[in-house]
Structure 1
Amino acid sequence: MMDRSLLGPGDEFTFSGSGSQVRPNDLPDELVGQITPSVRVVGDRAAALGLGSRDFEGGRFDTLLQSLPIIPAPDPDLVYETLMDEFPWMEEANEAVAMACAVSDRRDPKYLRIPPLMLVGPSGAGKSRWSRRMAEVMDIHYHRENMAGVYGTMEISGSAYGWKDARPSLPAVVMAAGMIANPIILLDEIDKTAAESAGDPVEALLPMLEEETARSYSDPCLMVPVDLSMISFLLTANSESSLGTPFMDRLKMVRAMKPTVAQFERTLPTMFDGIAARLKVDNWNEADDLLGRTLRVYLNGGSLRSALAFAEQEISALVWRPKRPGGHLKLI
C-alpha cells in the first residue's frame, strides 16, 4: 500500500494481517507494500491529562491513545460499476462516492474520506440500504445511528467527564470500536431530530462536518482535542426543509428517488442472491416465480423496503416448510 520513499523514519504503521505497530525502517523491502499508514487522533498531551487512566467502560477507549490505521480507498471504477449494477437509480450518489475514492487516492498518505453526503428522498427508496452496501464495497468499518426522535446533543457530542454515565462523542466511540481513524458513519433520518432544552443534535454536528474544525474537535468527555477529519459522514432525510443553511452548507445533497420498474426488475436477482447468501439458501429460484411476484408487490404501490421484505419472507420459506398441513416441520 505504501512506497518506502513516502515513509518518515519516525512514522508508525500497521502491518497487514497482524494489527501490530511497526516502523518502516524495521521492515525488509519486500514487506513495505503490506503496511497501512496509521495516525494519532489524539495528541501526546492526552497521556499527560490522564486519558489512559480514566475508567471509561473498562478502558474501552484506550484504543484512541494508540496510532489508528487509516484505510485506503478502493478502485473508483470498481466502486462505481458495482453500485450502478445494484443501485442504478442512485447514479448521482454512486458518482459522488467514486469521485471521493479517486480524490482520496491522491492524498498523502492515502486514505478514504467521503465528504459529508446526504441522501434526500421518500421512505423506501433504498437510502439506508445503499449506504450499508456502499460501505461493504469500500470494505471499511461502518456504523449506523438512527437519529429519528433524538433530542439533545448527547447522542452526538457525548457528555462531560465527571457525570456518572459519561461517554465520548459518537465519532470517538465509532473509531474506538472499529479501531480505525476513518470509519463511515451513517446518521439515518437526520430530519427527524428535535431541538429541545438539551440542545440541537443538528447543531452539534456542525464542527464535525467541516474538515478544518473536525481536525481538532474538543470532546467534552475525553477532554482533549480529537481528530475527526478523516471520518466519512453519510446522512439520510425525507426532506431538507427543516435543516438550516449552516448545516446544508457543510454537505453535498443528492436526491434519492424510488427506482423505476425497469431498474427495480434489473436489480432483483442481485438482491435475491444477497438474501439467499445471508440465509444460506442454495437456490432462490426454487421459490415459485419469486421475481414476478416481488415485482407485483412493487407495482401495487409497495416500496423497495416492502418488496424486499416480501422476497425475504418467500426465500426464508425455502429453509423449512411443514411436512404436511398441521404436521411437523421438515428441514429441506
Structure 2
Amino acid sequence: MSQQSEAVLPLLPLRGVVIYPSMVQHLDVGREHSIKALEEAMMGDHRLLLVAQRDSSVQNPTQSDIFDVGTVAHIKQMVKLPNGTSRILIEGIERAQVKTYEQNDPFMTVTYDTIYDEHGDETEEQAQMRMLTRQFNEYTKVSKKTKRETYDTVKDIEESSHLADIVTSHLSLKIEQKQHVLETVNVPERLDYLIQVIQNEKEVLSMEKKIGQRVKRSMERTQREYYLREQLKAIQKELGERDGKTGEIEELKEKIEDAEMPERIEGIAHKELSRYEKVPQSSAESSVIRNYIEWLIALPWTNETEDNLDVSRAEHVLDEDHYGLERVKERVLEYLAVQQLTDSTSGPILCLVGPPGVGKTSLAQSVARSIGREFVRASLGGVRDEAEIRGHRRTYVGAMPGRIMQSMKSAGTVNPVFLLDEIDKMASDFRGDPSSAMLEVLDPEQNDKFSDHFIEEPYDLSKVMFIATANNLSTIPAPLLDRMEVISIAGYTELEKLHISKQHLIPKQLEENGLTKSKLQFRDDAILKLVRMYTREAGVRNLEREIASICRKAAKKIVSEEKKRVVVTENQLEELLGKPKFRYGQAEQQHQIGTATGLAYTQAGGDTLAVEVSIVQGTGKLTLTGKLGDVMQESAQAAFSYVRARANEFDLEADFYDKYDVHIHVPEGATPKDGPSAGITIATALVSAFTNRPVRKEVGMTGEITLRGRVLPIGGLKEKSLSAHRAGLTTIIMPQDNDKDLEDIPDSVRDQLTFIKVSHLDDVLDHALLPKESII
C-alpha cells in the first residue's frame, strides 16, 4: 500500500549498501554529484532519498542504473573530511517508490510515493518473528562475519517490520537480495524470505566447516606419514642395512618391468642392473651405470598417443590459433586425411621457411594440438657440436644423450610433434658437423634405427612428426634440405595483420595488462595505421610490442585519471606512440608526364614505387639513381633500348638519344631496390617523357620487360595489389602469366581493383598513357 507524496527530495545513489527505515548508519560520500545532493538537503529540511545502484562500479549513475525503491532518510550529522569527502550520520525514515526524476546538474531530484507495510494475521507474525530470531541466533553462532553481540540487539525488537529490516542489515547478502527485502511490502512474506535465506546460509556455512575439517585431517595424515618415514630411515641407518642399495636395486627392477621396453632393450637394462649391483657404490662407474639405466627407463619405447584424425576438428583448431597460412594448414589436413585412409605411422617432415615473427613456432604447437599429440621443441640455433645431436659416449665424464633423445624423454611418447627450431642456424667446426648428424634424424628410410652415442641402442623415430623452421634456405646444406618438404611463409598482409590483432594479439595483451574489452577498445582504422606507419615487418612481433605499449599507457590513464574506458582511434596514435616511424606510398594527385607508379614487394609486404624520368639537352648519357640493384639497372637499360628501337612508332627522331641526357630516378634513395618487376614501369615513364603523354594517376603496374617488349611474370602479386589498394590506386597492369595468382588476393581487395592483363608493352602503353592533349 502506498500514499501519494508531492515532496521533492535530492537523490543520493548508494554503492553496495541498502538503508532500511529506523536504521542509523554512517556513510562516507565522495562523488561530486553526491556531495551536491547533500548540500542541497542540508539547505532544506535535511531529508533526502537513498537508493542503491544496480552496479556499484558505475561512477555517474543515470536513472537506469539505480533501483526504483529506496528509503527517505534524515541527515542527523555531517562532517567534511580533509580528503574532500563528507561523513554523514543518517537515520532511515520510511520506504519510498520513486515517481519522477529530474536532472539538476550534477545531481538528481525526485518525487516519490511513501510505501506502507502490509501486515497479516498477528499470531502468525509473532510465530514468524520467533522463528526468525531463533534462526538468526543459530546463524551468529556459526558465522564468522556476524558478531555474537549482534543477537542481543535484535532479540528484544517487538515490531515485525523493524525486526526483518535490522536482521537483513546484519546478514552478508548480495545487493539484489537486500533490495528484495526493501521492496517486499507484505511483512509476513518478508519474514518468510529471511527465514529461508538464513537457513540456506547456515547450510553453506556447515558445509564449509566440514570441508575445512576434512582438509585439516588430510594435512595431519600427511604430516604423520612424513614423521613415520623419517623414523623408518633412522631405524634402517641404525641397523646398517647395506647403505640402502638393496632397496634401490629393487626399485630400479620394478621400474624396468613397468617401462614396457622392447625385449632386447629390457635384457640390456637387466644386464646393466646386475653390473650396478656388483660395483661398489663409492666407485665412479656406479653413478655412470645408474645414470644409463635411468635413461633407458625414462625414454618412451612403446608409449604412443592416439591421433585425433578428425579433419574438421583439426581445421577448426588451426583456424582458431592462426589467421591465414592456408598452405601449411592444408598440408596438415592432407596428412590427416592420408592417415585415415592408410593407417600409416610415418610422419611428414615439413620445413617452414619465413621471416621472423610470422608464427612458425606457434604454428607447430597448433599442429600438435589439432591432432592430439605431445609437443616438444629443440632449438638448434648456434649448435656447433655433433654430440649435441648424437650425444656423448659414456666413456666421457658427464656424458649425456643428444638433444633428440633428451626431447623424446620430455615428450614421453614415441609419436610427438617434434619442432626443430632455427635449423638454418646450425654451424660446424672442428668438433664435427651437426647438420650431417641431422641427416639420419630426418631421413624416413633410416630414422627408424636412430643411433645415439650415449644410448648405443637403435631408437625408432619413424613415428615422430618433424617440423623444422628456418629464416633462410641458403644456409641449409642441400642434402639436409632434400629430406624436407619446404613450405614458404612470406609474411602477413595488412588485412591479415588486422584480423590477427583483433583475434589474438589484442586479447592477449589486454589479459596480460589487467584490462578488458570494456576498458580498452581498438578501432580498425587505428590498427591499420599502427600496421602501416608504426611497424614495417613480415611478422607481427613489433606489432604486438606496439599494442602492448598502448595497453600500458591506457592502463596508466585508467588508474591515474580514473577513466572508465579508453578508445584508441587513428587520431590518438600520435598521442600514445609519438610521430609515425614509417610512411607508405600514395597515389599521384594528378596525371604526370615522365612519372609512373610501380608496385614493389618487400619483406614487410608490398609498397608503391614512383619511377621518375627527366630529359634534358645533352649527349645521350643515361643516369640511374635511387640505390638501384644490378637487376633493376639492367631493366632500365632494357627499357631504354626498347624505346630507341621503337623510335619511329613513338614519332621520335632517329638520333634522339644523342641529343638528350636521360635521368631515371626512384625516390627514397637510402633504401636499396632491386628486381626485374619494375621493367614496364620504367619503360612507361620513359615513353611518357619522350612523347609528352601523361601517365594515368590511378594506374599501378608491375612486370618484367624484354628487349622485344614482351612482359614476363613476376612474384608477390598479392602483396603488391594490397599496397596499390592502400595507396588509392584503382587499376593494376599485370603480366598475363600471373593470372593464376589472382586467387590469392582477398575478395574485398580484388573487387575494388581493375586488373588489366598484358603480354606486350604496347598493351601497357595503351592502358597507362593518355593522349598529348590530356591534362598534365
TM-score bin (small chain): 0.7 to 0.9
CA 1:140/1:313 → structure 2, altered by over 3 Å: closer, same or farther?
farther
The alpha carbon displacement at 1:242 in A equals: 2.0
Cα deviations by residue, 1:132-173 (Å, 9 ceiling, x for unpaired): 233233332212222221112222222222322222233322
CA distance in 1, matches of 2:549, 2:323: 25
> CA, structure 1 residues 296+167, in 2 after alignment: closer, same or farther (shift >3 Å)?
farther
Pick aligned residue for 1:46 from 257, 265, 275: 265
Q: Which segment drifts farther, 290-299 or 245-254?
A: 290-299
Out of 387, 407, 414, the residue aligned to residue 154 of structure 1 is 387
Shift in Å, 1:256 = 0.5
AA matched with 2:359: G
Partner of 1:241: 474
Give the TM-score, by structure 1 length.
0.73
Q: Which residue of 2 aligns with 1:19?
A: none
Q: Which residue of 2 aligns with 1:188?
A: 421
Alignment length (residue pairs)? 284
SS in 2 for 1:186: strand
**CA contact 1:187–1:235 (8 Å) conserved in 2:** yes
- In terms of mean alpha carbon deviation, does 180-189 or 265-274 score higher? 265-274
| Larger-Rg structure | 2
Farther off after superposition, 183-192 or 168-177: 168-177
- Residue 253 (structure 1) aligned to one of 486, 500, 515: 486
| Cα 1:57–1:317 shift into 2, 3 Å | farther
CA contact (8 A) 2:384 2:427 kept: yes
Q: Deviations over 1:75-107 (max 9, x none)?
A: 223323442455344111111111112222345
Partner of 1:115: 348
TM-score when normalising by structure 2: 0.34
**Corresponding position of 1:21:** none
Show CA shifts across 1:249-303 (max 9, x none): 2110001111111122123222147626964957345224276544433323144
Q: Name the % identity.
A: 22
Residue type of the alignment partner of 1:129: S
Q: Could you say which residue in structure 1 is the equivalent of 2:442?
A: 209
Three-state SS of the structure 1 residue aligned to 2:376 is strand
Select between 207-216 and 132-141 the one with higher mean Cα deviation: 132-141
The answer to which structure has the higher strand fraction is: 2
- Name the structure 2 match of 1:59: 294
> Could you tell me which of 242, 246, 264 is aligned with 2:497?
264
Contact 1:211–1:229, Cα closer than 8 Å, also in 2? yes
2:716 aligns to what?
Answer: none
Among 313, 320, 325, the alignment partner of 1:90 is 325
Rate the CA distance shift 1:65–1:264 in 2: closer, same or farther, 3 A. closer
Distance 1:273 1:306, change over 3 A: closer
What's 1:309 paired with? Answer: 545
| Gaps in structure 2 of 5+ consecutive residues | 1-258, 274-288, 562-776
Q: Which moved more, 1:207-216 or 1:158-167?
A: 158-167
Q: What residue identity is the alignment partner of 2:560?
A: R
Gap regions ≥5 residues in structure 1:
1-38, 326-332
Is 1:79–1:98's contact at 8 Å kept on the other side of the alignment?
Answer: yes
Q: Which amino acid aligns with 1:87?
A: H
1:139 to 2:372 alignment: yes
Residues in 2 aligned to 1:104 and 1:244: alpha-carbon distance in whole angstroms: 30
Q: Does 1:283 align with 2:516?
A: yes
Would the alpha carbon gap of residues 263 and 68 (structure 1) be closer, same or farther in structure 2, given more than 3 Å must change?
same
Deviation digits for residues 43-78 of structure 1, max 9, x if unmatched?
322233237744338925513365312331432233
Contact residue 506 and residue 547 of structure 2 kept, 8 A: no
Q: Distance in 1 between matches of 2:415 and 2:523?
A: 39
Letter in 1 for 2:522: D
Quickly say closer, same or farther: Cα 1:190–1:288, change in 2 above 3 A.
same
Aligned mate of 2:400, from 164, 167, 175:
167
Residue identity opposite 1:144 in structure 2: R
**Counterpart Cα distance in 2 of 1:291 and 1:114:** 41
Specify whether residues 70 and 85 from structure 1 end up closer, same or farther in structure 2 by C-alpha distance, changes over 3 A only.
closer
Q: CA RMSD in A?
A: 3.2
